[in-house]
Structure 1
Amino acid sequence: MVESTMFTPWEAIAGGCLIGSAAVLLMWSMGRIAGISGIVAGALTESGGERSWRLSFLAGLFFGAIVAAYFSGALVGVQSVASMPVLVAAGLLVGLGTRMGGGCTSGHGVCGISRFSLRSVVATMVFMASGGVTVFVIRHLLGEGV
């Protein structure tokens, strides 16, 4: 059975402000869009200073999440319901989807929509609809995670 989580609007607002601030800071300081899939792709292919800022940004995401989870106690007792092969396959499919979609939710949903990009609005609508359909199929048609 899936436990429901408590809605915490202040934490959600604070998180949104931090994400928006990071996107603005990256655009202001480096002229770059904070699209994580593009940052990861560049970290794997670029060199020198271009690669350094990307790796620093990704390290900040990773370690920032660990620090936040540790101090909030958010991960106490959390266990994955999927096996490692399923998690790896899911990650690869997400990566494939971001390449096919020309970006991810951070690039399109946060940065693209704020720049009034019609392409990003459409991409974000497709991301959200796909997520909704996936949850419906898995929970209601396949009966998983219920």
Structure 2
Amino acid sequence: MANASSSGTAMIRASTAPCRAACSDGPAEVDADTIRQTYEAVLWTGAPGDEQEQLGDLLVGHVQLLLPEVSEYVPRMRGAQQSTALHVITRTRHLLEDGPGASPQEETSRIWNLATQCRALLTLYLHPGPLNERAVGDLDERRS
């Protein structure tokens, strides 16, 4: 078994502190590598009990950073990509509204779901697909 200094989650501890501080001070730049490391620590290696709360907090921060970014793209997205983005945004908002799990098992499930949603949001942010030049709402405003 790997020791803590060589585990993926130990890497998270050192590399995510700047993102967390930036996220709480206002708009922050999306750090895809840090976000990816955080969700991979949960999805691929599991979140050990002592790191579960910290990883959950980091995922909430990443999701809160990505939601408005992806939401900005949605009016300009096309077809299935737009539908997928709307589904991911809606599901993520519900997950955030539900808050922490009532039991350790529910919290583990919530953190897993946050990691999955975070991965989906990052993918949509990095690969929004072909975008229309203007959103439909923008065109309507110009016609009035």
TM-score normalised by the chain length of structure 2: 0.29
Per the normalisation by structure 1, the TM-score is 0.29
